[in-house]
Structure 1
C-alpha cells in the first residue's frame, strides 16, 4: 500500500526524527535523514549548540503509528504522531514532518499475540537467528509484534515494511506489561540512561531531552504520556510539595511563563533537600542531582502519574 494523505502509516526505521519543517533541517542533520538514518552518528556529530536546534520536535520509534496529512514531491510527509499526545498542538497527536522514506504501511499482525517491548538500551534485529544485522540500534521502549516461537535464544518479530520476520535476542525483549508499573520501576528505567547526551526533541537512547526522558521511561511499561512537559503536567495528578516519592515528577516554570522543564524525583525529600534525575539542558546530559538554587527558585509543582 502506498502512503496516502488521510491514512495511517508506520515508522520503518529504528528512530525517525520529527522536524518542524523540511526547510528547517541543517547540514549537520544529514545522517538523520534518508532511508537508513544513523541516529548515533548524527548525535555524535553535533556540537553543544547544535544539540538544541529547535528544528527538531520529537522522535518516533520503529513501528510507531502516524497519520499522514500531506505528501510532498520532494520526499517529505507531514504527519501526526498518534502515540505522542500533544493536546495544545493537535488533539490527534504531535504534528511535524518526516522523510517519506522512513515510513511504510502499518504491519498486519496477530492481535492475539501480546506485544513485546525492547528492554535493552540498544539492540539489533537480524535476518535470521544470529544472522546478518538488518536493523541496528533499535532502542529501549520500542514495541515489537511477536512472529512465532523462540529459536535458540532468538525471537522472531514482525517489522513494518518487511515481508519476513526479523530476529531479536530473547534477552533484549520482555512482554509489554498489562498492569500499571510502580513509579520506582519507571525511575529504574530512566536511571539506566544516566549520562546520556541531551538532545532537544530526543526520545531515544541515543540522545534525549527532559520530557522525552519521562515519556520514554513510561512508554517502556506501556503507559502513554504526552510528549511535552506542560502537557505532561496536565496529564498527571498534583501533590503537595513534601509528599512526592521516587518516580514522581517535578515541574519548573518562571513567573508568568508556562512549564519549561521536568525531572523525575529520585529520592524522598529530606526537609528542604530535593533530588531528581533529569535530562539537563544546561549540562547537556542526563544527571541525578540535588536541586540547585536556580531550580528550587522555579519549582512550581510535584505530580504523580
Structure 2
C-alpha cells in the first residue's frame, strides 16, 4: 500500500523498540521536531536509532502495520541500494501517514520553513513545513497565496507564493545547489536528520539537491556510487568531497565550497562540531579525503529528477 507523510517532518526509526523517552516529541501525528531536537543532548543527537527523515507529502510503501501503531515502510523517494532497491526501509508511527495522491510535487518549498493556513492569510494549520517539501497546487493563486493538496487534509491548505518555487524543468547548476546548502549554515547536527532543525552530512547533500527535484540517494556511500568521480584538483564549488579511512567505506561527505587552493574548503554537517560549518580541510579531515565527485547533467535524469 502506498501512503504519504502527513507530518511536516517524519523520523524514520530503526525499530519501534529503539525509540527513547527523549524521542516522544517526534512521535505525534504532526511531530514537534524543534522540541525534539532541543530536548536532546549532544550524545542523544547522534543515536543510530534514527535512520532518516521524510518530509510532508513524501511517499512510502507500507509493508506492515502493527497493533501498537507502528508501520514498517520503504521510503521510495530516498534511494538506498545497499539496503533495499525500492528505497530506504524503516519504521514510522502510523499516525504520521495518510492516503497518497498520485500526482504530488509540482511546486517545492523554497523558504527555510513556511506555514500552511486554512485560507489566505488565515489560521495556521501546519507550521514548520520544510525547505524541499514538494506539493501540488489545488487551484489558482489568490492575493499572493497558493492552495495546495496536503496529505491528511480534505480541503486545500494555503501557502505564501513567495515561499514556493516551481520544480525546474532543467537540472540545477552545482552553484545553485551549493547556494541552498549554504542557507543551512549553523543548523544543528542530528544523525539521520534531513530538516532545517537538524541534519547530518549526507542529509545536507540529499536535501539541497531535493530542493531542485533531484532524487539523490540518502547515505554518503550510496551518493558516492551515484555520482561521477573527478581528479582531485578539478573540483569546483558545489561538487562533493568524500572521506574514508584505509580499508573502509565512505563515512562522510561535504560540498566543495571554494575552488582548490593552498587548502581545500568544505561546507558540511560536522559530526564533531555538531553544526553545519564551512571550513578548510586540515588534519584528519585532509588525511581521509579520498575522492571528489560531481552530479553531472547526464546522471541527474538517471537519479530521478521529478
TM-score between both structures, scaled by the size of structure 2: 0.95
Matched, 1:298 2:288: yes
Matched, 1:136 2:130: no
What is the root-mean-square deviation of aligned Cα atoms in Å?
0.9
Deviation of the 1:36 alpha carbon: 2.1
Is the 1:178–1:222 Cα contact (8 Å) retained in structure 2?
Answer: no
Matched, 1:243 2:237: no
5+ residue gaps in structure 1?
1-6
Q: Secondary structure at the match of 1:189?
A: helix
Q: Secondary structure at the match of 1:215?
A: helix
Aligned twin of 1:101:
95
**In 2, distance between residues paired with 1:65 and 1:213?**
20
Match of residue 153, structure 1, among 144, 147, 153? 144
Matched, 1:44 2:38: yes
Matched, 1:35 2:34: no
Q: Secondary structure at the match of 1:96?
A: strand
Deviation of the 1:108 alpha carbon: 5.0
Is the 2:8–2:129 Cα contact (8 Å) retained in structure 1?
Answer: yes
Q: Secondary structure at the match of 1:67?
A: strand
Matched, 1:60 2:54: yes
**In 1, distance between residues paired with 2:189 and 2:268?**
10
Matched, 1:125 2:119: no
Write the deviation string for residues 130-183 of structure 1: whole angstroms up to 9, x where unpaired. 111111100000001011111111110000111100000110000011110000
Write the deviation string for residues 200-219 of structure 1: whole angstroms up to 9, x where unpaired. 00001111000000000000
Mapping 1:265-280, distance limit 5 Å: 265-271=256-262, 273-280=263-270
Give the count of matched residue pairs.
295
**In 1, distance between residues paired with 2:22 and 2:127?**
21
**In 1, distance between residues paired with 2:30 and 2:285?**
39
Q: Which runs of 4 or more aligned residues in structure 1 lie more than 6 Å from their structure 2 counterparts after TM superposition?
A: none
**In 2, distance between residues paired with 1:274 and 1:165?**
47
Mapping 1:103-252, distance limit 5 Å: 103-107=97-101, 109=103, 115-252=106-243
5+ residue gaps in structure 2?
296-306
Mapping 1:250-289, distance limit 5 Å: 250-271=241-262, 273-289=263-279
**In 1, distance between residues paired with 2:189 and 2:38?**
11
Is the 1:107–1:159 Cα contact (8 Å) retained in structure 2?
Answer: no
